[in-house]
Amino acid sequence: MAEAGSGSLTVVGLGPGEAHWLTPAAQAAIDAATDLIGYGPYLDRIPERDGQTKHASDNRVEIDRAGHALRLAAEGRNVAVVSGGDPGVFAMAAAVFEALEAGDPAWLSLPITVEPGITAMLASAARAGAPLGGDFCAISLSDNLKPWEVVTARLEAVLKADFVICLYNPISKARPWQLRAALELATRHREAQTPVIFARAVGRPDENLRILTLAEALEAAASADMATLVTIGASSTKLIPRPGEAAPWVYTPRSVTKSPSATSQGRT
Amino acid sequence: MAEAGSGSLTVVGLGPGEAHWLTPAAQAAIDAATDLIGYGPYLDRIPERDGQTKHASDNRVEIDRAGHALRLAAEGRNVAVVSGGDPGVFAMAAAVFEALEAGDPAWLSLPITVEPGITAMLASAARAGAPLGGDFCAISLSDNLKPWEVVTARLEAVLKADFVICLYNPISKARPWQLRAALELATRHREAQTPVIFARAVGRPDENLRILTLAEALEAAASADMATLVTIGASSTKLIPRPGEAAPWVYTPRSVTKSPSATSQGRT
């Protein structure tokens, strides 16, 4: 049994599914932990071993999970909180620091480490080609934690300024219409032919990558789910057709030649 | 000698410095390559081995390097183009697809793979806490490939819309003033106390993380370099002080409560 006060907390990114995208540092953090805390499906990816306890939880109680992790670490356990992808991108790291700030001041002395991971937008981009070749942004479409007007104001800003846009948490049973609304907003600023990528479960056996036009994506919005990362191309994003059955490559050239005013006008 | 047509090209992300952030998939791609192509300092990270040829190049000829890689692959070599961080984020992947599109149509049949890596903004965020807890964006401050007016228009858009902002390529000998100009623009939209992170060489022996206020960052701009990743917090980004000498944690809460209008006004 570890001595009280000797505990630690590591927030670990597992990457998007395949062990071959798990960094050695993340693997070492998992190996060193006495306790693993996370959403059940993420914990299921980690083989059981003696001396290590798994604490599975529901996906929607991040703050409770973070508090539980901090309490265990304060009791002297070596705790790893696991997230899919990168823990700092719409995952557990922010919840841990929220719980730290609101919690027992003694927790502030705990050694806390965040181990980065391959986030879904990087994995999805790699599979498609190089869609993030220019400036880009990441927006969570979930309005559980922010008003929908904030989401649309942000979308509008980055559509006008011609960023490539990655949408996390695009849709769920409780939020069925937001992705279509976001894509409709996009049609006011981007051509109907703009490439859109629906990347589902990248790195898992059921991986599915769809290269669509914005017009097609609008019709297909209901087929996305919480495991889908949606990338909307910039005005310069283009396709390179390939011979045979292969999907085209998608890439965004590094150079921008058009003036900002050419992209800051709505198309209504 | 490999048969013509049996070659392949992989664009590999090495992550930010430490081998413990190199994914097993990226390591396997390096191991399988007959030829490694990249900027010298990245190639230097990879141990020499028999049967593998390193082709080092200057950092500013990405498109030539990409064409060279494609020609070697078309001759039957198994080529790995290596980038620091993630190859799709302001690195080699987009250059490879530009060269592919402009090059020999026979190259379109080549098997090309992009192996993602930990990009600097994720590594820097992990070291600082969870600054990317909300919506965020990545902007290259280099105006080699886009007009400066495009950079400022994009900065203005994401400052008004209250994104966390990660600045890649903040400064170089040929571009000494852009970072200060970007931070000056930020002071018109964000409080002087907004946390700014200067993360230099994260994952390398000379790693240096500085947690500043926006006002301090403006004064310190000239101390950044091409190895520095600058993160400007959103209006909600905050610090958690720690006991003793430890730097404060920086994090951005997941929740947004203020209305977008509260952040869409300039502060001039």
SS3 of A235-261: the string is CCCEEECCCCCCCCEEECCCCCCCCHH
Q: Tell me if chain B has a CB within 8 Å of the CB of A136.
A: yes
Which of A9, A23, A162, A235 to substitute to test the interface with B, most B CBs within 10 Å? A23
Instruction: List the pLDDT tens digit at each of the 268 positions of chain B.
Output: 444 458 999 999 999 987 899 999 999 999 999 999 999 989 999 999 999 999 998 766 888 899 999 999 999 999 999 999 999 999 999 999 999 999 999 999 999 999 999 999 999 999 999 999 999 999 999 888 899 999 999 999 999 999 999 999 999 888 899 999 999 999 999 999 999 999 999 999 999 999 999 999 999 999 999 999 999 999 999 999 999 989 999 999 999 986 545 444 444 3
Which of A132, A156, A165, A207 to substitute to test the interface with B, most B CBs within 10 Å? A132
Phi-psi region of A129 (alpha: psi -120 to 50; beta: other; left: phi over 0): left
DSSP state letter for A215:
H
A248-261 tens-digit pLDDT? 999 999 999 865 45
Instruction: List the pLDDT tens digit at each of the 268 positions of chain A.
Output: 444 458 999 999 999 987 899 999 999 999 999 999 999 989 999 999 999 999 998 766 888 899 999 999 999 999 999 999 999 999 999 999 999 999 999 999 999 999 999 999 999 999 999 999 999 999 999 888 899 999 999 999 999 999 999 999 999 888 899 999 999 999 999 999 999 999 999 999 999 999 999 999 999 999 999 999 999 999 999 999 999 989 999 999 999 986 545 444 444 3
Q: Which residue has the tokens 């001039």?
A: B268
Q: ipTM more than 0.90? A: yes
Other CB atoms within a 10 A radius of the CB of residue B162 amount to 26
Q: Tell me the residues of chain B between 209 and 238 that have a Cβ less than 8 Å away from chain A.
A: none
**Closest residue by Cα to residue B237 from B125, B161, B132:** B132
Complete DSSP assignment for B20-54: GGS-HHHHHHHHH-SEEEEEHHHHTTSPP-TT-EE
Contact B88 A133 (CB under 8 A): yes
- Strands laid side by side in the B53-57 sheet: B53-57, B35-39, B78-83, B8-13, B112-115
Q: Could you tell me which residues are beta bridge partners of residue A114?
A: A11
Compute the nearest-CA separation of B166 from chain A (Å): 10
Q: Which residue of A has its CA nearest to B108?
A: A242
* CA A242/CA A219 separation, integer angstroms: 25
The residues, any chain, with a CB within 8 Å of residue B22's CB and separated by 6 or more, are: A23, A24, B14, B15, B117
Predicted local confidence at residue B257, as pLDDT: 83
Backbone φ and ψ for A35, nearest 5 degrees, come out as -135, 130
Other CB atoms within a 10 A radius of the CB of residue B261 amount to 9
Contact predicate B73/B9, CB 8 Å: yes
* CA A37/CA A14 separation, integer angstroms: 13
Q: What is the pTM of this model?
A: 0.94
Q: What is the largest CA-CA distance in chain A?
A: 66
Contact predicate A34/A51, CB 8 Å: yes
The residues, any chain, with a CB within 8 Å of residue B132's CB and separated by 6 or more, are: A88, A89, A138, B121, B122, B125, B164, B166, B231, B252
